Structure 1
């Protein structure tokens, strides 16, 4: 039997690291969850990095890749823009934190074996939204008004209203509160 794959995370939250350790404990013959300090070798076989958990986002992914880490982005926020940025920064895949332990182990094994995680439609909820629609939806979920979204994205109010109509149609909701709930359930 081959040695277990070592897996670390750059998360500073004790809750997240303890949760991952407990979650992966029953798979110890396949995955060994280890403490990871970027300043102290060795680097685990694979490092999970949440580009939204700390300042820097995709820059953090790039820094970890520069250390020789095989990085997989791992976040609650799984929108096409976030996925694209993490992959462009060198991540070998992008996984939602909503995965079961079995799904996470399978994904880590896939990255270890093939050098990447194949993104499946079930991993990208809302992928039918364009990148711009995803940006607008993420700002709606942060509580911004249409005017504030327009200012943030340097778009006219009419453009924002057009994007909102398209988002409502694609998500099959009729009210802003429903849209926020839809978006939050999917990591926006």
Structure 2
């Protein structure tokens, strides 16, 4: 962490042996301080209020309040606290609701200590902390959406002239995004930080931040994880400029 204060992490998992194992693992990682452990989403919300951690490692399937609802409540009340999902499940019904609720990272429980540490560091720096399996699923979902969009009759003009997600004409970007904003959004979906986007586009980080603020306002997303979900939902990735 380059001499900075340790990242304060809260763990939420309803299985005692798993929860204690994660806490023990995190205790061995440099630059990380575990500030609490919750047995369900309700307790996770309460402990975030008490300890104000930097990152929550959140299981999804928990009693009383599941991980998606807990993530939504935490991000709404404490937007400075990032959420990384750590779960057994990587199916669409688990993945996309978690990202839409505000999670910026998503790992499966076969992740090692290095991968967990990297995801925690990534979300703290403003990037997405997604496992390779999750990134692959997002790309597959994109390909499925692109296939539907180019299927016979898909662009033939439904009533009202719509020809794609959120668009009115072929090639038109949704929600009034400019070509540059769509390009920045695609790079966010790749998991790049503001600094990395600035290098890629040969602009200043301040310019990148302006583009991000503008595209967030136009699309109605609250954070980078929702921006990633939006980008894949609308087919706005590196394959579309």
TM-score norm. by structure 1 comes to 0.59
Offset of 1:120 from its aligned partner? 5.0
Segments of 5+ residues of structure 1 without an aligned counterpart are 132-188
Q: Distance in 1 between matches of 2:127 and 2:137?
A: 26
Q: Structure with the greater relative contact order (CA < 8 A, sep ≥ 6): 1 or 2?
A: 1
Correspondence for 1:181? none
Offset of 1:124 from its aligned partner? 5.4
The equivalent position to 2:46 in structure 1, one of 27, 39, 42, is 39
Segments of 5+ residues of structure 2 without an aligned counterpart are 38-43, 143-241
Given that residues 11 and 50 in structure 1 are in contact (C-alpha distance below 8 angstroms), is that contact kept between their aligned partners in structure 2?
yes
Q: 1:109-164: per-residue Cα shift (whole Å, max 9, x none)?
A: 111112532x3543457668769xxxxxxxxxxxxxxxxxxxxxxxxxxxxxxxxx
Correspondence for 2:101? 89
Given that residues 48 and 73 in structure 1 are in contact (C-alpha distance below 8 angstroms), is that contact kept between their aligned partners in structure 2?
yes
SS at match of 1:8: strand
CA RMSD, Structure 1 to Structure 2 (Å): 2.6
Change (3 A) 1:124 1:23: same
Q: Distance in 2 between matches of 1:24 and 1:58?
A: 22
Q: 1:92-117: per-residue Cα shift (whole Å, max 9, x none)?
A: 12111110011100110111112532
Change (3 A) 1:16 1:34: farther
SS at match of 2:20: helix
Change (3 A) 1:66 1:33: same
Given that residues 107 and 131 in structure 2 are in contact (C-alpha distance below 8 angstroms), is that contact kept between their aligned partners in structure 1?
no
Say how many residue pairs are matched: 130
Task: State yes or no: 1:24 paired with 2:36.
Answer: no
TM-score norm. by structure 2 comes to 0.47
Offset of 1:58 from its aligned partner? 2.0
SS at match of 1:33: strand
Q: Distance in 1 between matches of 2:105 and 2:137?
A: 17
SS at match of 1:39: helix
